[in-house]
């Protein structure tokens, strides 16, 4: 089958989670592997109490940011309720479904019985389907699908392999509630069928549903799609990835200064490998090489450290500066500095990028460079040797005419040679005087970022004790 029709069907009950984004990404990649394939989006908003339009907006914005493109209009599940009801009535008419009036009490006692006797059928309504009076009712019932008790269902999943479930393990699930609203189990099948979806790629938390949904396809004589159930992603402690582990919403990663290429690279390597030495792989190469059946069926661990590694790689690429500017313009704090001091901000980025995990880290770095009332921590004491050298060093730096990294570097090297000293004697305290820290970029880089005037002003704060 080359002409694949696939879809991503999020429920708008929360923001776009990194795990769902992975499902969407894999659907998108598979659809891109053949020009006649299609990829649709459906918003499954039938849970009125939990669905919110702001979540739909967040999900779509997240997909757009990742550059995951879909075909045609977005399908909205709640707009198709009539169609779902008609299919349910059809199933009822053809004796593939039945009306059930069991009280919660009755159902619960059957549930208890099933729990005790592991070998009996899992059907919790045992009588309604055989009661003609109940089947003639015009309201006050739910509609259940009628599943066999004998035999089994066999699903050949592209990732999970061949799985068999006995029919007696499957309950006659509800397809229409008492208020005649369709359930997810019914709507999802009807909507997928109407879109001609022939390959369903979704989280393996839905695997159990597939055995049940199989019967809706069968009873209606619809084509049963191919399936691939993707294992969920876990945090490094082995539990399901959640807020406890760190950011999990796609747009939160964007806000924190991660690049979409890094997110995609990191996500696609969870349970799959292109077989190269390098782990860096961009979307076009992924589309060329990805094979869904090679995806591991055990859950994968999401590592923030690994994401940082990829993000650092992508932000150092040629277009990294452009992306950084884009980030600044959309970040309240950085925008303020960027508009006033564009060149200085660009220099800070160029100097720091080799160590950055994300653009947001620049927010903490900039303070020291833009502090108009900068004071170095006077409690810090430096060596006598430094005191002896300091004023000559300052003089040499002050004499530099063209404030350029190479010239500054040469001036410092010559000074060290001339004085026959080791660099740290002067380098360590100078860095501290300039940025209040012994850690940081090279002295010449710091001097370039600060500019001549600020650099000299900061050095002037030091009074030698000789
Ligand atoms: N709406 C379901 C969810 O968000 C997905 C259904 C499906 O992919 O079949 O979990």
What are 89-115's pLDDT values in tens digits? 999 999 999 999 999 999 999 999 999
Rounded mean pLDDT of 121-142?
97
Architecture of the CATH domain 81-184: Alpha-Beta Complex (3.90)
Q: Classify the C-alpha dihedral 334-339-345-349 as positive or negative.
A: positive
Instruction: Using the mean position of ligand 1's atoms as its centre, give its distance from the Cα of residue 57 in Å.
Output: 17
Instruction: Using the mean position of ligand 1's atoms as its centre, give its distance from the Cα of residue 69 in Å.
Output: 19
Mutate to test the pocket of ligand 1, among 8, 10, 228 (most ligand atoms within 8 A of CB): 10
Rounded mean pLDDT of 135-153?
97
What are 301-345's pLDDT values in tens digits? 999 999 999 999 999 999 999 999 999 999 999 999 999 999 999
Q: What pLDDT is stored for residue 161 in this prediction?
A: 98
Whether 465 shows a pLDDT value over 80: the answer reads no
Query: Which among 153, 40, 140 is positioned nearest to 100, based on CA atoms?
Result: 140
Query: Could you tell me whether strands 142-145 and 161-166 are parallel, antiparallel, or unpaired per DSSP bridges?
Result: unpaired
CA distance 307 to 129: 54
CB distance 334 to ligand 1 below 6 Å: no
CATH 3.40.1170.10 fits 1-70+231-315, yes or no: no
Rounded mean pLDDT of 191-215?
97
- What is the percentage of the chain residues whose pLDDT exceeds 90? 96
Rounded mean pLDDT of 159-178?
97
213 φψ region: left (φ > 0), alpha (ψ -120 to 50), beta (else):
alpha
Q: Which residues of 307-320 are buried (b: 16+ CB within 10 A; e: fewer)?
A: bbbbbbbbbeeeeb
Rounded mean pLDDT of 62-76?
97
CB distance 11 to ligand 1 below 6 Å: yes
Whether 2 shows a pLDDT value over 70: the answer reads no
Q: What pLDDT is stored for residue 1 in this prediction?
A: 53
CB distance 10 to ligand 1 below 6 Å: yes
pTM beyond 0.75: the answer is yes
Q: What is the band of 276 on the pLDDT scale with cuts at 50, 70, 90?
A: confident
Q: What pLDDT is stored for residue 417 in this prediction?
A: 97
CB distance 191 to ligand 1 below 6 Å: no
Q: What is the band of 442 on the pLDDT scale with cuts at 50, 70, 90?
A: very high
CB distance 204 to ligand 1 below 6 Å: no
Rounded mean pLDDT of 18-42?
97
Q: What pLDDT is stored for residue 466 in this prediction?
A: 62
Query: Which among 343, 303, 353, 355 is positioned nearest to 323, based on CA atoms?
Result: 353
What are 387-408's pLDDT values in tens digits? 999 999 999 999 999 999 999 9
Q: What is the band of 464 on the pLDDT scale with cuts at 50, 70, 90?
A: confident
CB distance 44 to ligand 1 below 6 Å: yes
Largest Cα span, the chain: 108
CA distance 205 to 231: 8
Domain definitions of the chain by residue range: 1-70+231-315, 81-184, 320-369, 384-459
Instruction: Using the mean position of ligand 1's atoms as its centre, give its distance from the Cα of residue 11 in Å.
Output: 6
What are 4-28's pLDDT values in tens digits? 999 999 999 999 999 999 999 999 9
CATH class as words, domain 384-459: mainly alpha
Q: What is the overall mean pLDDT for the chain?
A: 96
**Hey, whose CA ends up nearest to atom 7 of ligand 1?**
9
CB distance 202 to ligand 1 below 6 Å: yes
């Amino acid at each position: 089958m080359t002409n694949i029709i696939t879809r991503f069907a999020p429920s708008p009950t929360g923001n776009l989670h990194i795990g769902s984004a992975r499902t969407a990404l894999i659907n998108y990649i598979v659809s891109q592997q053949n020009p006649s394939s299609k990829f649709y989006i459906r918003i499954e908003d039938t849970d009125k109490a939990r669905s919110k339009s702001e979540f739909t907006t967040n999900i779509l914005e997240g997909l757009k940011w990742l550059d995951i493109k879909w075909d045609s209009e977005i399908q909205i599940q709640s707009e198709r309720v009539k169609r779902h009801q008609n299919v349910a009535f059809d199933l009822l008419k053809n004796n593939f479904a039945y009306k059930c009036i069991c009280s919660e009490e009755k159902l619960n006692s059957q549930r208890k019985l099933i729990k005790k006797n592991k070998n009996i059928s899992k059907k919790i309504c045992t009588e309604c389907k055989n009661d003609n009076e109940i089947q003639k009712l015009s309201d006050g019932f739910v509609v259940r699908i009628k599943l066999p008790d004998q035999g089994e269902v066999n699903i050949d999943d592209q990732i999970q392999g061949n799985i068999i479930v006995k029919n007696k393990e499957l309950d006659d699930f509800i397809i229409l509630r008492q208020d005649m609203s369709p359930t997810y189990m019914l709507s999802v099948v009807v909507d997928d069928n109407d879109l001609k979806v022939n390959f369903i790629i979704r989280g393996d938390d839905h695997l159990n549903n597939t055995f049940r949904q199989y019967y809706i396809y069968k009873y209606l004589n619809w084509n049963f799609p191919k399936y691939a159930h993707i294992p969920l992603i876990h945090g490094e402690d082995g539990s399901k990835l959640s807020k406890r582990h760190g950011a999990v919403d796609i747009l939160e990663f964007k806000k924190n200064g991660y690049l979409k290429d890094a997110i995609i690279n990191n996500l696609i390597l969870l349970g799959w490998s292109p077989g190269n030495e390098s782990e860096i792989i961009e979307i076009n190469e992924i589309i060329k090489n990805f094979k869904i059946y090679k995806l591991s069926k055990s859950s994968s661990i999401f590592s923030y450290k690994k994401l940082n590694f990829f993000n650092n790689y992508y932000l150092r690429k040629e277009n990294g500066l452009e992306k950084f500017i884009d980030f600044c313009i959309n970040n309240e704090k950085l925008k303020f500095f960027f508009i006033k001091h564009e060149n200085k901000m660009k220099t800070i980025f160029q100097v720091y990028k080799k160590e950055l995990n994300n653009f947001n880290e620049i927010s903490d770095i900039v303070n020291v460079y833009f502090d108009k009332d900068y004071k170095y921590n006077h409690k810090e004491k430096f060596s006598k040797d430094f005191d002896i050298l300091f004023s000559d060093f300052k003089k040499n730096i002050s004499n530099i005419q063209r404030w350029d990294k190479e010239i500054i570097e040469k001036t410092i090297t010559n000074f060290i040679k001339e004085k026959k000293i080791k660099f740290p004697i002067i380098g360590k305290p100078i860095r501290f005087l300039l940025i209040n820290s012994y850690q940081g970029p090279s002295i010449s880089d710091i001097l370039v970022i600060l500019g001549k005037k600020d650099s000299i002003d900061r050095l002037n704060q030091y009074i030698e004790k000789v």
